Each structure stands twice: as C-alpha cells, then as structure tokens.
Amino acid sequence: MSRQKADRMQELVELLNRAGKAYYQDAEEIMSDYEYDRLYDELLCLEKELGITLAGSPTVNVGYEVLSELPKEEHEHPMLSLDKTKDITELRKFAQDQKVLMSWKLDGLTIVLTYRDGELFKAVTRGNGEVGEVITNNARVFKNIPLRIAYKGELILRGEAVIGYKDFEKINAEIEDVDARYKNPRNLCSGSVRQLNNEITAKRNVRFYAFSLVQAEGVDFGNSRESQMEWLKAQGFEVVEYCTAVADTVEECVQRFSDRIADNAFPSDGLVLTYDDIAYGTSLGRTSKFPRDSFAFKWADETRETKLLKIEWSPSRTGLINPVAIFEPVELEGTTVSRASVHNISIMEELELGAGDRIEVYKANMIIPQIARNLTRSGVKDVPTACPVCGERTKVRKVSNAKALYCTNPMCQAKHVKAFSLFVSRDALNIEGLSEATLEKFIAKGFIREFSDIFHLERYGGEIQQMEGFGEKSYRNLIASAEKARVTTLPRVIYGLGITGIGLANAKVICGRFHNDVEAMIHADEETLNAIDGIGGVLAGAFVSYFKDENHIKILLNLLKELEIPEEMVDNTQRILEGKKFVITGSVTRFANRGEVKELIERLGGKVTGSVTAKTDFLINNDVNSSSSKNKKANELNIPIISEEEFIEMTQKRD
C-alpha cells in the first residue's frame, strides 16, 4: 500500500508541475483550477501521511524559473506563498483573539515597488519568490502608480498588478487570431507587465493595488497594519480593499466580500487575512514555504451534478474548433448555467469526457462556468472529422502542450467573420444587432453561410432566443433591422461585398457608370473600369478578379433576390452640385445623420471631403458662428459656412 501511495505521489508531482508550467509559462490550461486544487490537496495529505516530500514537489517549490529576457534581481526579502483554506472555521481559528485585516486576494501579478528620495526607483516581479524580473519602465506606465511621493525615505511595498474584466474583454476582442487571445485576465496581465516595450504596457490599462508595506524608514505606524495601509493611501497609492474583523465577525466579513464577487471589476480568487499587530505577526516567524502572519481563503466552489448532453464544436475565424460542453441546466451562484468551455481536446481526454456522463460543474472565481470532474468517465468520442460550418476535413494538431481541432478549409465561412461584419456595417446594409461576436456564433451554428441567409434568420428564431445575450425583444429587433435593410441602394450592396479597395464612394462611381446594370458590371473588363474617373488600374483589377469567381457571382445574385433597390430619383439633368466640394461638420437635424447628407451631395454630382482646404466650396455647419477649427479655417480662406437649411434650399434650386 505504501509503495502504491509513493507511486501516486510521484504521479501527482509530475502532473501538477506539468499543469503549472503550462499555466504560468505557456498561458495554456490542461486542467481546471478545481482539478488542480483537488490534486494539490491529495498530494499534501500523502506527504503528511508518509512523512516524505519529493524533490520538485509544488508544495515546497515556490513558483517557476523566470524565462523572459528582462533583467533579473534577487529579492532582499523572500516572497513566500500563503497557506490557504476553504473552511471558514480555519479562518476563525487563525484570528484567535487578534484583530485581522481581510482583503481581496487579487488574481494578477505580484510586484515589489521601491521608492527612494520620493521617486519610483525600481519595480520587480515576484518571479519564483527568490528572484524576480525588473520591470521598472513598465511600472511607470501603470494607470495608478504615483511616480513621486511626499515621503523621502526608502519605501518598499508589495501589491498586485491587475487588468479588469472590461479591459480584458476589449483587448481580446481586438485580437483577430482566436488562438492568440488570452485565456483570462491574469494571463493578459502577466504578458502586459513583462513586455519589453512599455508602450504596449501603457495601452493595457494595468492598475496596481498595494497590499503590504515591507519597509518605510523612520515612520511610526503604532504597530498596526491598518495604519500602514492608511499611510500608503496618504502617499497616493490605491490599496487593496479591506475590512477589519475579529474571530466572531470573520464569517460576516467573508459574506460581505462574497456578495460582491459578481460585480467586482477585477478578478479575485479569494481573500487574505493578516494580523493587524505587526510585532505579533513577526514573532510567529515562517515555515519553509509560508509566512505565519497571513492566511489565504479560497472560495468554496458551489458545485452541482448534472448530465452532459453533448459536446458542441464551435469553429472560429482562425480555424480552431473549440469544444463546448452542453449539459442539463443547473443553478450556480444565483444564475442558471447550461454550457461551459472545455478549451481543447487535451482537457477532454484528461476528464475522459463523453456525452451522457454525469459531471460536476462550478463557477471558477464564482463567475466562469467550468467542469469540476467527470463522475462516469465514458471517454472521448465523436471528435468531428468534418467542420460543422463548411463540412470540410478537420485535423487534430498539438499546439504547445495541448491538442486542438482545426478546420483545414481556407474558405470556411467561420474564417470570414470580418467579411460579414463589413456587410452589416452602417455604410453597407446597416443591420443593427449583428456584432462580430454574434456573427461568429451564428456562423458557427450554421445559421449564416452566405449574405442572403441574414434575411432568413427567422428559421432559427427559437434557437436564437435561447442563446446567451438574446431574448424575444432583441431577436425581434434584429429581424426588424434585417427587414428594413432589404430596401437599399446598389452602391451599398457592392461596397458590402468587401471587394479589395472598393469603398462606398468607388462603388457609387462604378454603379453610376453602368447605370446600376448588374450584368454589365460583373462582366466588365479592366480596360472599361480603368477608364472611369477615380478608379484606376489597381481597383479595376481587384473588381474584375472578384467577379471571375463564379461563386461570388452566385452569392451576389442570391443576395439581390432578397433586396429591393428603388430606381434613382435624380437623373443626370439634375446634377446641380456638379464639381462642388463640401465639408460637413457638427450635428444635423433634418437628416438621420451626416452620411445621408453626403449621399445626397454625391447623388447631385458634388463631392464630400473630410477637411477644409482652399479647394472647398462650402462648409456645412448648423452652428455657423462656432469657434471650431473647421469654422476658423473656412473663415481664413473665405469659404462660405452654410447651415443645413441653407444647404437644403441650395439643393431645391432649378435652372
């Protein structure tokens, strides 16, 4: 039995170290946080029972070696991990008869700041607890670190660098390559703080929250940690939110924090308790791994057992096909959940996950649905050999430590979300309610395969209304917006196709040259198009090349069957603004937006530019007496500034 337990210890050490390396160094997840904590606790129990601690055990090795090119520096005061529990009784026992400070355990990157002569001298990451990376230049561009403070002695403090959920979502949304997106705010923060170029760091909205004062020469804090925190506030630092408690009020304080997790702007994986009495805490000393003056509390994850109905495979624009677990709905942390990302095939294999299994689910950090464990472990099966969107062959690839599924078809619709996004944009068909994220979901589910499908989403009305972020009202609004978009102009349609280099203005010129004759346009040669004023050889080549593809012609013709394109009301004899150049600024009241003004000007033969120059004929601004830069420029150049009403009168004149 002892031999089996020793073998199990070795297995756990290897497994946990592999998971730790994947998470901290490669930004990959090969197991859930829940599973990691469970295996870690199992290893601890075995070490205590057998009295053995293996070399390389994560219970004694604090962190991992630094692998970046940043300068390294040994910490003057070693940075230890904290002992932790999920049992509130343990917190009461820790508090004893002492006053404690309870604060958020923020989930970011721990940083040590040193100030000398009132200025930021250096910033060093925690690293492996003994040696960290010097990131001083990056710290200088954190959003809330004071570069100068009133205190002139040497100050050393510790805190957490974090990126909020909103910034995390915004930054991830801007990364087109789904594989390159960050898994969670902590990974994003770690990469941002350790950039070699601090211009990148500055754009990431990193914030720093102080949680511990290490040294402040000559300052009397009255032997109180709380006094230290208040003093740091007075020096201009934001400190981690905290409350004070004693043994009898610990549970109440924990509840106060837990009630606010869902609304917390920053990721947190628990709470930290620290003795207020500095001398008492210091007198307790430390173990080889933990200080004895502080204790961490991790949220006791609420888990629910449910049945895994299926694995849904969701293709992305890079070809990665993500597995998503769909299970019978359960109530977790006050909300109903029925799906959870599994991330990749490696995690599926680790969980031996198959349809019909009984699983336990929870919310990581009480927010993100995850699978805790698989109770029946029937095994991975039915990994699709064909892409659920385009039907072409799939392939399993190993990226870093994880196996993932990819679509091999370069023309898969899921890889062309940007094209659909352009098609529904304001200057094209102007269909509200179809963000890139929504389009990605609809394409992955097969609701949209080509542009014309957008006008038949009612076929999937029931499914759409059940999707996250949708309800009956938002669904109805989407359908109404699509119906309204059926009445449009041909230039908007041509622009919406996404032909390389063809903007709305170019599309208007081309459609005007061919008098909106679609057949003539799609079969035009380069010479004819090149002869059109403002088109040129490059755009002519791109236009002709696009319609050489028979599939593109088919897509356009299918689309036109769904649309109503009224005949132009203004003919060439009414081009009363021919040769006139306009600039439009400020708000409009008689038109829906400035785009409509521009459209009318161009239909009447005029042109619209963005800035006032000597070649401008009129500046349209309802605030004629405004001191704006465009008004000033127009006055300097003696260019008439006209109101919207004056412009309308101008368009109604007839010779």
The beta strand positions in 171-222, using DSSP E, are 207-216
The Cα–Cα gap between 162 and 189 comes to: 6
Q: Which two tokens stand for residue 465?
A: 């209304």
Burial class (CB in 10 A: 0-12, 13-18, 19+), 502: buried
Residue 392 and residue 460 in contact, taking contact as beta carbons nearer than 8 Å: no
Residue 84 and residue 37 in contact, taking contact as beta carbons nearer than 8 Å: no
Residues β-bridged to residue 112: 124, 158
Residues β-bridged to residue 464: none
The Cα–Cα gap between 80 and 62 comes to: 7
Q: Which two tokens stand for residue 590?
A: 């008689």
Check 105, 363, 415, 598 and give the catalytic one: 105
**Helix, strand and coil in the chain, % to nearest 5:** 40, 20, 40
Q: How many CB atoms lie within 10 A of CB 207?
A: 22
Answer yes or no: 93 catalytic: no
Which CA distances in Å does 56 have to 2, 39, 316? 20, 15, 38
Q: What is the DSSP code string of 251-285?
A: HHHHHHHHTTGGG-SS-EEEEEEEESBHHHHHHT-
Q: Of 501, 319, 331, 327, whose CA–CA distance to 411 is shortest? A: 319
Q: Of 249, 270, 208, whose CA–CA distance to 82 is shortest? A: 270
Active site residues: 105
